[in-house]
């Protein structure tokens, strides 16, 4: 409970995305090695392991944007180039890693990885997403007119009759965009079952969670005088305060025909005061939640395929179906020239589980 008459609960707030650029000099030896691995990856159409930092990186068969080399890790992505017109590195930590260890430790980890790849590397911010998650704010599509925003564009997202979110501004401008949406719906659809661990004991699974999120591109970060990655992290609470005070607000309607003169709603006053208390719930809790979510999403298709297999095999239960399945799988291994063990290895690497 916050302001009088407003029953809102903050579950979490802080940084949900921090993309970085690394400026330095990539060694010719590294670039040559990456090129050789990229050729093999293209031939195999799958990622290929490479030694870098802690050694658990893989070179992808495709690049990232204008970057020829894209390296993946369970903690995020690295893109590397020797083009002088671009930063040497592009770094995209995974959201799971930020929430597992905390944003500052995540930046330190990527700094260490970058130093193994690039000489005299300096990390700067290229994108920052700040957020807060709330329960007790019953938003709907009809509330769109209560928002006052500097951006002219406002999109309303709905699924049938259900409101799913608002989007403010255009991402391609590289400045500021905002999203307010049903986070619980996204968690259910994407399999992000680790989020309740971030929300903690205050989370009520019977109520939706509303996410308020601002995305700041490179130009917006410069306007806030934020450049170095560490400075971007330290400056995140200030960007939240400024954006919720002037860029986007939620108002209480009055008889005044000018919405900008409507008073700020009590709900938005709560949001303006988001705590930005950085949390780190640990890698094991993140992994456990990610596995639960992935298996939950796989279950309908998996059960359907297994039931079809059982029907063709003439079996009626799980145990006898699995006893009859190995000959079918061996026949397919021979026909496809790829073992099941190899397929599992590839999937583990692609999912960041290797």
pLDDT digits (tens, 9 = 90+) for 179-224: 999 999 999 998 888 999 999 999 999 999 999 999 999 999 999 9
Residues 6 or more apart whose Cβ sits within 8 Å of residue 338: none
Contact 16, 213 (CB under 8 A): yes
41 compared with 5, residue with greater pLDDT: 41
CA angle 275, 277, 280 (to 5 degrees): 155
C-alpha–C-alpha distance, residues 204 and 289, integer Å: 17
Cβ atoms of residues 217 and 175 within 8 Å: yes
Q: Is the pLDDT of residue 6 over 70?
A: no
For 269-291, write each residue's pLDDT tens digit: 999 999 988 777 666 656 665 65
- Residue 87 contacts residue 65 (beta carbons within 8 Å): no
Quick one: pLDDT band at residue 344, thresholds 50, 70, 90? Answer: confident
Give the lowest-confidence range in 229-233, 282-286, 295-299: 282-286
* pLDDT digits 0-9 by tens, 77-108: 999 998 989 999 999 999 999 999 999 999 99
Q: Which residue has the higher pLDDT, 177 or 334?
A: 177
- Chain centroid offset of residue 86 CA: 24
| Strand ranges, E, within 94-153 | 118-135, 147-149
What average pLDDT does the segment 120-141 reach?
A: 95
Residues facing 149 on adjacent strands: 248
Higher pLDDT, 78 or 174: 78
- At 293, is the pLDDT very low, low, confident or very high (cuts 50, 70, 90)? low
Q: What is the mean pLDDT of residues 136-141?
A: 95
**CA–CA gap between residue 130 and residue 240 (Å, rounded):** 7
- Tell me, what's the pLDDT at 1? 45
Radius of gyration of the chain measured on its C-alpha atoms: 24
pLDDT one-digit tens code per residue, 302-332: 778 888 888 888 888 888 888 888 888 888 8
| Mean confidence (pLDDT) of the chain | 89
Q: What percent of the chain is predicted at pLDDT more than 90?
A: 66
Residue 342 pLDDT > 90? no
């Amino acid at each position: 409970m916050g302001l009088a008459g407003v029953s809102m609960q903050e579950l979490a707030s802080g940084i949900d995305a921090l993309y970085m650029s690394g400026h330095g000099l990539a060694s010719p030896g590294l670039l040559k090695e990456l090129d050789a691995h990229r050729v093999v990856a293209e031939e195999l159409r799958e990622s290929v392991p490479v030694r870098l930092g802690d050694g658990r990186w893989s070179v992808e068969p495709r690049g990232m944007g204008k970057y020829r080399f894209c390296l993946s890790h369970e903690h995020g992505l690295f893109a590397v180039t020797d083009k002088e017109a671009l930063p040497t590195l592009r770094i995209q930590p995974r959201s799971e890693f930020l929430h597992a260890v905390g944003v500052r430790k995540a930046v330190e980890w990527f700094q260490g990885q970058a130093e193994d790849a690039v000489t005299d590397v300096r990390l700067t911010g290229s994108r920052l997403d700040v957020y807060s998650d709330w329960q007790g704010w019953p938003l709907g599509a009809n509330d769109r007119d209560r928002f006052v925003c500097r951006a002219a564009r406002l999109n309303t997202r709905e699924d049938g009759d259900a409101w799913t979110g608002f989007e403010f501004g255009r991402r391609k401008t590289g400045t500021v965009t905002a999203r307010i949406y049903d986070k619980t719906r996204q968690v259910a659809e994407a399999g992000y079952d680790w989020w309740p661990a971030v929300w903690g004991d205050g989370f009520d699974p019977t109520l939706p969670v509303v996410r308020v999120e601002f995305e700041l591109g490179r130009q917006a970060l410069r306007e806030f005088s934020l450049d170095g990655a560490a400075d971007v992290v330290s400056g995140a609470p200030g960007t939240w305060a400024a954006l919720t005070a002037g860029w986007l607000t939620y108002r209480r309607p009055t008889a005044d025909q000018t919405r900008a003169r409507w008073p700020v709603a009590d709900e938005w006053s709560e949001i303006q005061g988001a705590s930005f208390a950085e949390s780190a719930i640990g890698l094991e809790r993140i992994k456990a939640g990610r596995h639960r979510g992935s298996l939950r999403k796989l279950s309908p298709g998996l059960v359907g395929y297994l039931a079809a297999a059982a029907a063709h095999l003439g079996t009626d239960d799980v145990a006898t179906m699995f006893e009859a399945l190995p000959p079918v799988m061996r026949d397919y291994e021979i026909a496809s020239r790829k073992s099941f063990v190899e397929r599992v290895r590839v999937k583990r690497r692609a999912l960041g589980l290797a």
